[in-house]
Structure 1
Amino acid sequence: MTSTYFDTPERDLLAHNLTLRRREGTDESGWQLKVPHPKGRTELHAPLSEELPPELIEVVTGAALGKQLHAVTTIHTLRNRHRVLGPDGELIVEVDDDIVDTTPADSGSVAWHEIEVELGPRTDAVPAALADSLAKAGARRSEFPSKLSRVLPARSGPDTDTAAERAIYNYMTAQIDMIFAGDVALRRGQDPIHDTRVATRRLRSTLRVFGKLLDRSAIGAIEDELKWYAGLLGDVRDCHVQHRRLADQVNKLPPELVLGPIAARIDSTILARQVPSRDALTAAMDSTRYLKLLATLHAWQSQPPFDRRVRRRELVKQTHKAARKADHRLTAGLHNQRHASLHRARKAAKRARYAAELLEPAGKRKQAKPNIKYYKTIQRVLGDYNDGIVSSQFLWRTATTAGTTAGENGFTFGLLYANEMHAADDARRKAATIAANRYS
């Protein structure tokens, strides 16, 4: 087999656990793109060709930061394949005895001998007898997870001097990884909107709460850029949430109270907003602005925006400050009962929760855990309140149109409006009870 791997000169794909290769010489000949998956990695395929397949290039455009892809190494493998089959002919395990040599683009050739064990579809682990036989023959587990990682080893992360710096770096890196994973999934036509939006908000919250501990010149306008991207994701996500919520509310009504094409009106109204929102997100992901944002986030994974030594007590101080601000805004919102005030309280509760999440790995688990739980609950309840208000506003606008359209009736929309307002009031009272019980 001859496998030629493609990446940017800076190996941006490899940094995000993506591998793109052209394989020749086996029944697996063709283009293969390996993409991270919760249970390992999944493969996307394209027919063998001399040119890079456009459909695979599109998937990795964000991870490649818009750069051109080039061959970075070629791996030649002479494989003796041994298969163990069950009585029904199904593969139990495959043992591949490989002689490997490589020609990296930026160094000399490397050669080695390895045994690769691949499990059949119903085999959960390497059979003990096989493992014992290999060990007795002198085999030992490789320190490299793949052939490519042996030729192009992953670059080590930055040195972080304190537990506080490690906590900030690891938290930020986890969110950046999620944003890049979301980029790949979106380009594949999947729907990672919620997780990507949350990661974007967590990262922005970290910059906002702990900004005094970071290099302001390095952060620059990134907080605003994250807000811009989160807004694009939010426009799509809000349509999904509202559609699901209102569909459930309509289904709960007795049939005799559903007058006219209620579901169809809701579907068409939300779809009219959802399609341009998704188009705007797609266009933004191909823009120079977006790719520049990804490039900055990618750079932070190797050079985090620290300009001085960060102490744990500073981390604790900023976390407490975020919690006090959330408490103050919640008190004000519950007092004046204005939607705008309660919306600000919800956002402050999110920042307090995310700050506590970051504090936990810094050695303050006992202190962080109750705050995470409390502010997560407040965030969820105020989220229910916000959903009720937003849905009621949508229903009011829709009712004014339906009430004057032939064949439609505004009665059911009015009923749904009242139900949403009651749900919002219940959520607000629940938030007040939770806040009062915290200090009782």
Structure 2
Amino acid sequence: MATHRETTHREIEIKREVSAEVAMPELSGLPGVTAVETLEAVALEAVYLDTPDLRLATAGLTLRRRTGGPDAGWHLKLPVAADERTEIQVPLGPDDEPVPRELAAAVRARVRAAPLAEVAVLRTRRTVHLLRDADGRVLAEVADDVVTSRAPGDGEVRLDAWREWEVELAGGDRALLAAALTLVEAAGATAGSPSKLARALGPRLVAARRDAGYAAPTDPRSAGAVLTAYLRGRRDELLAQDPRVRRDEPDSVHQMRVATRRLRSALATGRTLLAGEPAAQVRAELSWVAGLLGAARDAEVGRARFAELLAQEPAELVLGPVAERLDADRADAYAGALGAVHAALDSDRYLGLLDALDALVAEPPLTKAARARASTALPRLVRRDWNRLARAFRAASLAGPGPDREHLLHEARKAAKRARHAGELVAPSAGKPALRFARATKKLADLLGLHHDSVEVRSVLRRVGEQADLAGEPTFTYGRLHALEQARAEGIEERLPALWDTVSARRRRRWLG
């Protein structure tokens, strides 16, 4: 969770290297800029910390302790996009203080049991130009940095020096950023390393990325190579969401849950391509994490649904403190579930899962079947998941109304999700037919998901309504909302046969063989 010591902001910037003799271009002609204020140059020193094998830098994260300038403090930067990062700042303490607990927690999934130590020291003489609009608002900052770096390595120290221009948006938009990029490149600036730290580390970082399993596969056309690349991507998504969940950022629980489900689905679909127990053990542990995330996500979805339902109700039909009771119930459920998630993320069991997942991605125990051409081998695996979905949907369709049918529809939803993820997995080799298959099964899974959400909402309404009754409060509104949700679920069930006919059309499955 975020603390009162932290400040967080989204950083959108571009960097370009430039030779010492090149003059800064005239910045006042940029769109929307009416004045340029040049600040006095400042001296900055940043000590970057990482593990011996550069786990943070390999993943695009930077952790540093900066002194000098207006933003002195501890900084952790988490990648969002190519030119966009989330920066978390914590004030400086004593010179010998360890990494602040907030930042240590945010990188725990990457660092695990490895020690953090100095990997580079950068000294920068920075001159900042503030780009202001007619109202005096700062649209962007253009920094002219002269940098020297020292990066200790295996028995040697790497020294470097360079100059770069950095354009960071403040109140401006991406059109201004694009115009600034055009301007500085016209003046002679060129693309260099993605960050100062990457430039300072040089070949050491390249080697670390290779050792972490980012090298190109031996045969990218094989089924095993496609599966491994997919697993690597979903592993990276899981690790990217970890610090967001720890900080309880919006939608983070949902996105981390999606990453775990995609990993589990891929391991299930590709189980004949992976030998031994490691993959099965990883899949089981992912199920544990997904279950904890699912409890938090269900509470989150329920809370939003109750707010939506009550907002649509006429005021005269809301009798008693219904909104307060329902919101408090779901808020308490979310807090409890999120607490369980946070405890799990700090556990040795979870860190062991991440180690096992890394090992699986770096050196997958591929079977002989994994050497087969992906374009022919993988569709057969998707066909198996399709058959599983067809059986599950048929069983749900034949069941009568009631809890058994609700359970079977939920099982069909899970099968539809796996089929969708299987389509995404094989898309690099199967192309558009697989993507169309994934989109179709996603529609089915989404509709079944709305049905499952309705089941959960009705369960909460019954329970909270009983609590209200025991407290002597009116229960009319709980019954009304329950009836509305039941009608909604029945409406969803009426739509399912037509959607199934569309999803199961032979033309959508011809590529499966």
The answer as to 2:392 corresponding to 1:329 is yes
1:74 paired with 2:121, answer yes
Secondary structure of the corresponding residue to residue 5 of structure 1: strand
- Deviation track 1:244-292 (CA, whole Å, cap 9, x = no partner) reads 1122222222323222221122123323422221211111111110111
Asked whether the equivalents of residues 121 and 151 of structure 2 are also in contact (C-alpha less than 8 Å), the reply is yes
Bigger RCO (CA 8 Å, 6+ sep)? 2
Aligned to 2:486: 421
Distance in 2 (alpha carbons) for counterparts of 1:120 and 1:190: 22
Measured in 2, the distance between the counterparts of 1:228 and 1:367 equals: 33
Change (3 A) 1:247 1:278: same
Write the distance in 1 (CA, Å) between the matches of 2:228 and 2:146.
39
Distance 2:348 2:465 in 1: 41
Show CA shifts across 1:411-430 (max 9, x none). 22122222212211111121
Match of 1:4 in 2: 47
Q: Does 1:117 align with 2:175?
A: no
Q: Does 1:30 align with 2:87?
A: no
Q: Secondary structure at the match of 2:277?
A: helix
In 2, Cα distance between the equivalents of 1:400 and 1:92?
Answer: 57
Could you tell me how far apart the structure 2 residues matched to 1:390 and 1:99 are? 57
Which residue of 399, 406, 421 maps to 1:339? 406
Which letter maps to 1:103?
A
Of 411-420 and 164-173, the range deviating more from structure 2:
164-173
Aligned to 1:189: 248
* Structure 1 letter corresponding to 2:144: D
Which ranges in structure 2 are unaligned for 5 or more consecutive residues?
1-43, 507-513
Q: Which amino acid aligns with 1:311?
A: R
Q: In 2 relative to 1, CA 9–99 (structure 1 residues): closer, same or farther, beyond 3 Å? A: closer
Taking a change above 3 Å as real, the CA distance of residues 2 and 248 of structure 1, as seen in their structure-2 partners, is closer
Structure-2 separation of matches of 1:179 and 1:116: 33
Aligned-residue offset at 1:147? 2.3
Contact 1:162 1:311 in 2 (8 A): no
Question: CA, structure 1 residues 92+205, in 2 after alignment: closer, same or farther (shift >3 Å)?
Answer: closer
Equivalent of 1:170, from 216, 229, 234? 229
1:149 matched residue in structure 2: 198
Is 1:131 matched with 2:189? no
**Counterpart in 1 of 2:380?**
317
Is it true that 1:435 corresponds to 2:435 in the alignment?
Answer: no
Is 168-177 or 300-309 further displaced after alignment?
300-309
Q: Which amino acid aligns with 2:187?
A: S
Q: Which residue of 2 aligns with 1:83?
A: 129
Q: Does the alignment pair 1:374 with 2:420? A: no
Match of 2:85 in 1: 41
Question: In structure 2, how many angstroms separate the alpha carbons of the residues matched to 1:74 and 1:381?
Answer: 53
Task: Report the Cα offset of residue 170 of structure 1.
Answer: 2.8
Q: Structure 1 residues 391, 10: closer, same or farther in 2, change over 3 A?
A: same
Structure 2 equivalent of residue 409 of structure 1:
474
Please report how far the alpha carbon of residue 235 of structure 1 lies from its aligned counterpart in structure 2 after TM superposition: 0.7
Closer, same or farther: CA 237–294 of 1 in aligned 2, 3 Å = same
> In structure 2, the residue corresponding to 1:141 is in which secondary structure?
coil
How far off is 1:310 after superposition?
A: 4.5
CA distance in 2, matches of 1:83, 1:269: 51
Q: Determine whether 1:357 maps to 2:357.
A: no
User: Counterparts of 2:107 and 2:335 in 1: how far apart (Å)?
Assistant: 24
Query: Residue 328 of structure 1: CA displacement?
Result: 1.7
Q: Which residue of 2 aligns with 1:108?
A: 157
CA contact (8 A) 1:71 1:105 kept: no
Question: What is residue 384 of structure 1 aligned with on the other side?
Answer: 450
The alpha carbon displacement at 1:56 in A equals 1.6
1:206 and 2:266 aligned: yes
Is the Cα contact below 8 Å between 1:162 and 1:310 reproduced in 2?
no
Q: How many residues align?
A: 432
- Provide the alpha-carbon RMSD of the alignment: 2.4
For residues 27 and 321 of structure 1, do their structure 2 counterparts lie closer, same or farther at Cα, with a shift above 3 Å needed?
same
Q: Work out whether 1:297 is the aligned partner of 2:297.
A: no
C-alpha separation between the residues in 1 aligned to 2:140 and 2:477?
59
Q: Deviations over 1:348-405 (max 9, x none)?
A: 000000000111111x123213311221111011112111222222222233332333
- Counterpart pick for 1:55 among 102, 110, 135: 102
C-alpha spacing 1:315/1:132, structure 2 compared with 1 (3 Å): same
Identity of aligned residues (%): 33
Is contact 1:158-1:302 (8 Å) kept?
A: no
The aligned residue for residue 242 of structure 1 is 302
User: In the TM superposition, what is the alpha-carbon distance from 1:97 to its structure 2 partner?
Assistant: 4.9
Q: Does 1:221 align with 2:286?
A: no
2:320 maps to 260
Matched, 1:396 2:462: yes
Distance in 1 separating the partners of 2:220 and 2:128: 50
**TM-score normalised per structure 2:** 0.78
Gap regions ≥5 residues in structure 1: none
CA distance in 2, matches of 1:270, 1:85: 46
Counterpart Cα distance in 1 of 2:296 and 2:60? 27
Larger mean Cα displacement after TM superposition, 391-400 or 95-104: 95-104
Distance (whole Å) between structure 2 residues aligned to residue 324 and residue 31 of structure 1? 53
Q: Deviations 1:147-198 (Å, cap 9, x if unpaired)?
A: 2112142413144213334432332222212211211112233230111101
> Structure 2: how far apart are the matches of 1:342 and 1:80?
61
